[in-house]
Amino acid sequence: MIVVIPTGGLANRMRAVDSARALSRKMKCALQVVWVTNKSMICGFRDLFKEIQGVEVIESNKIPFKYAYRDKVFHFPRLLRKLFGITLYKQWAVDDLLQENVNFEQLVSSNKTIVFESYTRFYPNEKQYSDFEPLDVLKSKIEKETSDFNEFTIGVHIRRTDNEKAVENSPLDLFAEAVQKEINVDDRHNFYLATDDQEVKKAMMQAFGDRIRTNSNRASRKKCEDVQQGLVELFALSNTKKVYGSYWSSFSHAACDLTGIEEITVRKK
């Protein structure tokens, strides 16, 4: 059996689960997803997506004891895993496996139960994210969000708040330059803006007027409703012509992988 404990934000978790799903399908073995709600992800899996057929999803506010790396004093979780034939790979260990080009299929076949706690893509999927279907209420919001898109709509994802690398390497003026260049190429271009910063919305709308299409809700990431809106914007971006994204943010990459469109990372030279 394969167990995946996805970590990080929405896009990070999606690619970890997507990797595990592809690997479990290839190996024809059971897959269990342990979806832990915390500061990085305050929404449960079932608050966002429909059930994935053949996948057991466990929602919890903490990692199950047998999958914990260790407790505060002793190594009981490790002893428990040894007893039940469970092999755990934390993110740093997953990184090592990738760097060493380890065969994940052989790894799974040689372990009774293997656990990946990860926020990265560790196994390729030919049909990326095909198992992720948003809830009907969110699908309706996606349809509404994209109702006025046309063949000239370009996506723009500007990551801010707690992502210091994105703020430092992908400043707002570079996004403004990219938008202006697209307008110079074809005056029919319009832009869908997804961002977690309200001031960015205001600045881009002041600079480019009604060419900028964005959600009217206040940008935030503090409530489950905010994460749901983030999911709506993720799928909305995937319906654009291409996406200008922020450095060190997996969100725009995931959006482009959903439909196979081009992603252009905006960053300082």
Alpha-carbon gap, residue 221 to 135, rounded angstroms: 19
Q: Give the per-residue pLDDT at 71.
A: 52
Alpha-carbon gap, residue 20 to 254, rounded angstroms: 16
- Bridge-based pairing of strands 212-214 and 190-195 is parallel
Q: Which two tokens stand for residue 239?
A: 């319906």
- Bridge-based pairing of strands 86-89 and 55-60 is unpaired
Report whether 110 contacts 201 (CB < 8 A).
Answer: no
Sequence-ordered list of residues with C-beta below 8 angstroms from that of 78, at least 6 positions apart, any chain: 69, 70
Residues of the chain with pLDDT under 50: 72-73
Report whether 236 contacts 192 (CB < 8 A).
Answer: yes
Q: Give the per-residue pLDDT at 75.
A: 61
Runs of H (alpha helix) within 28-103: 76-84, 91-99
User: Which structural domains are found in the chain, ordered by start?
Assistant: 2-118 (3.40.50), 136-266 (3.40.50.11350)
Q: Which two tokens stand for residue 19?
A: 């990797």
Q: Which two tokens stand for residue 208?
A: 């480019």
Q: Give the per-residue pLDDT at 81.
A: 85
Bridge partners (DSSP) listed for residue 191: 154, 212
Secondary structure of residue 40 in the 3-state scheme:
coil
Q: Is the pTM of this model over 0.85?
A: yes
Q: Which two tokens stand for residue 164?
A: 């210091």
